[in-house]
Amino acid sequence: MAAVRSAMRTNLRQLASSSRPRAPLSRVSRASASNQCPLSVTTTTSAGRRTYYKSSPADPANRAVSPKEERDVFAPLDSFARRHIGPTPSATEEMLKVLNPPVKNLDDFVESVVPSSILTAKELKIDGPSKGVLVDNLPINEEGYSESQLTTRLKSIASKNKILRSYIGCGYAGTRTPEVIKRNVLESPGWYTSYTPYQPEISQGRLESLLNFQTMVSDLTALPIANASLLDEPTAAAEAMTLSMNMLPASKQKRANKTFFVSHLVNPQTVSVLQSRADGFGIKIETGDVLKDGSARVNELGDDLVGVLVQYPDTEGGVEDFKALADIVHGHGSTLSVATDLLALTVLTPPGEFGADIAFGNAQRFGVPFGYGGPHAAFFSVSEKYKRKIPGRLIGVSKDRLGDRALRLALQTREQHIRREKATSNVCTAQALLANMSAFYAVYHGPKGLKAIAERTIACTRILEEGIKRLGFETGTRGKDDEGRALFDTITVNVGNGKAQEVLSWAVKERGINLRMFDESRVGITLDETIEEHDLQDLLSIFNQFAPKKADIQLSQIGKELNGSTAKTSKPLIRTSEYLTHPVFNSHHSETELLRYINHLQSKDLSLTHSMIPLGSCTMKLNSTTEMIPVTWPEFSSIHPFAPVDQATGYKTLIDELESDLATITGFDAVSLQPNSGAQGEFAGLRVIRKFHEQQGGAKRDICLIPVSAHGTNPASAAMAGMRVVTIKCDTKTGNLDMADLKAKCEKHSAQLGAIMITYPSTFGVFEPEVKAACELVHQHGGQVYMDGANMNAQIGLCSPGEIGADVCHLNLHKTFCIPHGGGGPGVGPIGVKSHLAPFLPGHPLIATGGEHSIAPVSGAPWGSASILPISWSYVKMMGGRGLTHATKITLLNANYLMSRLRAHYPILYTNAAGRCAHEFILDVRGFKETAGIEAIDIAKRLQDFGFHAPTMSWPVANTLMIEPTESESQEELDRFADALIAIRGEIKDVEEGRVAKGENVLTMSPHTQRDLLVGEWNRSYTREQAAYPAEWLKEKKFWPTVTRLDDSYGDLNLFCTCSPVDSIE
């Protein structure tokens, strides 16, 4: 069977404009275009050079419905671009006139924003079906699929995926997603369109659900502190390793031979991802039998021991007692980490009770489908002494201004924003949507239900194992109970030397079942809650086909013989401690109860279903329903990540097309979709650069130049890749790179220069005019250019990283390409590279992918979070090249329109020479602290009273607000937001001019809840109506915060990160 490779492989594609045959492009008129609905005719410059797509709001594709005389009778009426883009054509024309200064047309405006030196000379071409091909009896619009056409095409692609019963295991297990959770959480925009809960007053619902997740993990692992999830199990293992290193004395951290000792029975993808992370920190990864000869190797490592990692149950299904190992590891002052399974911990002794310091794993089997590898929520818990160094997000219990219980993000666990290049983690996100699904799964089943699922799984495993043994096969004795029976869900069968592949092939062909191959002689079977009696019969028939002795095995009879002992473990491995005792896990076990609980929590949270979310650098655009629908189709959701690739040819088609389109959009030659977050994309891109330099030989190029304005993840990722960070100054007036400083640093570090990391447009919201010169300068000194693609929404179709001069760039599919933020994850952070870097794109130990000199994987699955890739594929295909380009123009227009409306009321921090911003801009509110005692946080909280989420606060400049409207917001919504900020400016002026006192006023007391307004006497300097209805339209449409402003200091001093007791906080 030929291995399938993605565009990250080494058969480098040509630049996207010539990657596939295309019909010649010619000038057409509306009268002669029978199957087209173009935005405008092709234009050329005076030199004959083709430019980006020119357009106007009046173009047919931008109008709701074209006039009858201009419309092809067969053209689809459900085109997508006009549904995605917020402003109507007439509104766009009006907005252009409001700009300061105004412009005549959209393209003149674009050229006042984007430097002429980087404007592309190419029209963006996105491959679609051939012109004239009928779908649903309608001709294809070559400018992009209509919504119905897209759905038809996607169904065709999905049909090429084969859904088999997969018992492969290796960190992934089948599950039954309760329909009430699938419909009301995974498929609900109230849950998937919200942002990370940085504004807790309007996020109490998902904060409570994530606190349930933390409590679930803490209870099951018996460790007191758990975070709100990580990206996947292997990434969690890497975080455990670096946390283990951080807990060592400085002298041990500096040892040349420091070693992280990993059990040979840990999942293979975990070991590979560990290697990827270890290289940058100079940690050696050693695998071996951690229990051999009384853990002799652990003792031999001595002061070089960073920590030990074991799997429990292990990858072959064994369960060992690690209590003595824990004592040995602790005796050396090191850390014991345990990769584990939450379902297993309902019956097995939890890690915290045998001495583990860190426990982590994949929560996927708690209600989240395979999804061809993701996204899934990894869990991570630690003992008490590690709590202030735990990576990722942490939900804590605090209180609000009224003294009521309120939840918040505790501490500042995004350590890369504190320590930057000294950080050992670049984690800045979670898998919130998936963590919430798993939490609701635990709430729905409760402790008794979960234990019943585990016991049934064990019973089925033991029945199958006994049947296989009676056929004459050996299933081993290691890690079993006293009677030689499996202790959880996995058995390993010796089928005879060289027979394993034959058994696997027969199972697929004759029974439609996937098994795991350990080696040429052994296969593995991992059962789960989906197993039924007929599945066991089919599994047994596979082994009967190859049995040394034929026998008529009756599984029901075996079950009776094993009787009550089928699901019992033996001491000291049996769990005796209670778990999930909080009422939330014991109250919502009917669908009615859970449905009401889900919707009760959802009602507390502001999302895109309520209003725009203007967070700078976050790109909160429309996540259309058509894009979201295929995520839960079984053809995409039900495939195991390590299933044979010929069962996923539909995925191959979709992945290949998405990679090709992203390469076209970015101007690169190859793309890897493996990184499952933006920060992971940064790390992968820098690892690729380092591998490239190593292959070149010569001096060690490990200097990474990073502007002082960069995302905190940039220096953190560079440090993780083993690079030394040198900062570059920025001009204090324009925010642009200080080119003189850049030149001096390049010359100083010329022999060691590895890379520069540039965010474009800059984090200050401006297209830097000297970006090409900066790229050329770095290249002259032998460095590579890494472009942070967080702001790619301002580039598409107008310019591209590859044309500007970047060698590698990561994208945020959860920003620019419409994957929803999910309340704090999931995300996808693919990287695009030039041809000379393509051979180093990340590989995988189990599925062939990546380049011929690939770096170790950065994700547990070959294509990362594959099941949400159809979202971005759909967005690109429905928008088409013209639609994507027009969307970029509108996102620039929306930002400049808002800025123009606010400029008379607030200082704007940075613009270009023409007074324009890019896709976002910064309100400078620092002066209000002195004049009115008002800070950015007060404006942010007051916006909640208007029903808006705050802009990004205090980043990239302290005590400022960064605003990013996207192309999906209409003029009406932009005006509502502008009116709210203008009204707030009026309230600040009242304080400045003495009409209202500093201190306790409507701003500093915001936000206001219903309880705050209704309970008790009112003796404030403003009325209840001013607090609740500062704008007339709020009387018709009002979102109420459910808690008042939180007491952050109390929360940090009283760290409490699990479901609190029923009693109130004092």
Q: Is 195 helix (H, G, I), strand (E, B) or coil?
A: coil
User: Is residue 660 situated within a structural domain?
Assistant: no
How many Cβ atoms sit within 10 Å of the Cβ of residue 213? Answer: 31
Closest by Cα among 227, 178, 620, 179 to 386: 227
Place 698 in a pLDDT band, splitting at 50, 70 and 90. Answer: confident
Looking at the structure, do residues 423 and 473 belong to the same domain, yes or no? no
Alpha helices in 332-427 (DSSP H): 416-419
CA 545, CA 932: separation in Å to the nearest integer? 83
CB-based contact 835:668 (threshold 8 Å): no
Note whether residue 306 is domain-resident: yes
**By the 8 A CB rule, do 507 and 491 touch?**
no
Instruction: Verify that 926 and 822 share a domain, yes or no.
Output: no
Question: Which of 170-174, 663-667, 732-736 shows the lowest mean pLDDT across its residues?
Answer: 732-736
Q: Are residues 441 and 451 in the same domain?
A: no
Q: Is residue 264 part of a domain?
A: yes
- Mean pLDDT for 782-803 is 97
> For position 68, what pLDDT does the model report?
56
For residue 451, is it within any domain?
Answer: yes
The answer to whether residues 407 and 396 belong to one domain is yes
Position 32 pLDDT exceeds 60 = no
Residues 391 and 468 in one domain: no
Is 167 part of a structural domain of the chain? no
- pTM beyond cutoff 0.75: yes
Q: Are residues 699 and 835 in the same domain?
A: yes
CA 447 to chain centre: 29
Residue 391 belongs to a domain? yes
Q: How many CA atoms lie within 13 A of 753 on its CB side?
A: 27
Number of domain units in the chain: 4
In a domain, 680, yes or no: yes
pLDDT of 840 above 90 = yes
Tens-place pLDDT, residues 554-581: 898 898 888 755 555 566 799 999 999 9
Q: Are residues 907 and 795 in the same domain?
A: no
How many Å from the N-terminal Cα to the C-terminal Cα in the chain? 65
| pLDDT of amino acid 28 | 27
Do 941 and 825 lie in one domain? The reply is no
Q: What is the structure's pLDDT at 426?
A: 80
Quickly state the pLDDT bin for 429 (edges 50, 70, 90).
Answer: confident
Q: Residues 194-222: pLDDT tens digits?
A: 999 999 999 999 999 999 999 999 999 99
For 971, the 3-state DSSP assignment is: helix
Which structural domain, as residue segments, surrounds residue 892? Answer: 880-1053
Read off the CATH number of the domain in which 500 is found. Answer: 3.90.1150.10
Determine, yes or no, domain membership for 87: no
pLDDT at 225: 96
Q: What is the dihedral of CA 592, 598, 604, 607, to 10 degrees?
A: -130
Same-domain check for residues 763 and 811: yes
The Cα–Cα gap between 978 and 95 comes to 13
Residues 451 and 440 in one domain: no
Tell me, yes or no, whether 605 and 711 share the same domain.
no
Q: Does residue 856 sit in the same domain as residue 891? A: no
